């Protein structure tokens, strides 16, 4: 199961169920995909096929919507802190 958090400009932001416990989000588009850690700091975990300009744009979007994504994370994966 991989619930979609939101879709933005052709990018799908989603989680994989039963993966790592550290909060993160996967992002997929037709050009490739990336994974970003959300905690403790926002940082890229991996990138497959996305250009540096795309990664920079995604990071800005994640910064702007981090609260929303973390709330979705803790709703989908109960048991952790959700004070975000």
Contact 13, 23 (CB under 8 A): no
Over residues 11-68, the pLDDT tens digits come to 999 998 777 889 999 999 999 999 999 999 999 999 999 999 999 999 999 999 999 9
Report, in angstroms and rounded to the nearest whole number, the Rg of the chain calculated over CA atoms.
12
Sheet holding 24-29, edge to edge: 4-8, 11-14, 24-29, 32-37, 43-48
Q: Where are the domains of the chain?
A: 4-76
Q: What is the pLDDT of residue 2?
A: 82
Cβ neighbors of 65 (< 8 A, separation 6 or more) are 6
Whole-number pLDDT of residue 84: 47
Whole-number pLDDT of residue 81 = 53
Query: pTM of the prediction?
Result: 0.88
């Amino acid at each position: 199961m991989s619930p979609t958090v939101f879709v933005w400009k052709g990018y799908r932001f989603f989680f994989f169920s039963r993966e790592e416990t550290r909060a993160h989000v996967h992002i997929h588009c037709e050009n490739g995909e990336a994974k970003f850690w959300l905690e403790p700091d926002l940082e890229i975990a991996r990138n497959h096929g996305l250009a540096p300009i795309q990664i920079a744009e995604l990071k800005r979007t994640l910064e702007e919507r981090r609260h929303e994504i973390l709330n979705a994370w803790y709703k989908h994966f109960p048991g952790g802190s959700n004070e975000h």
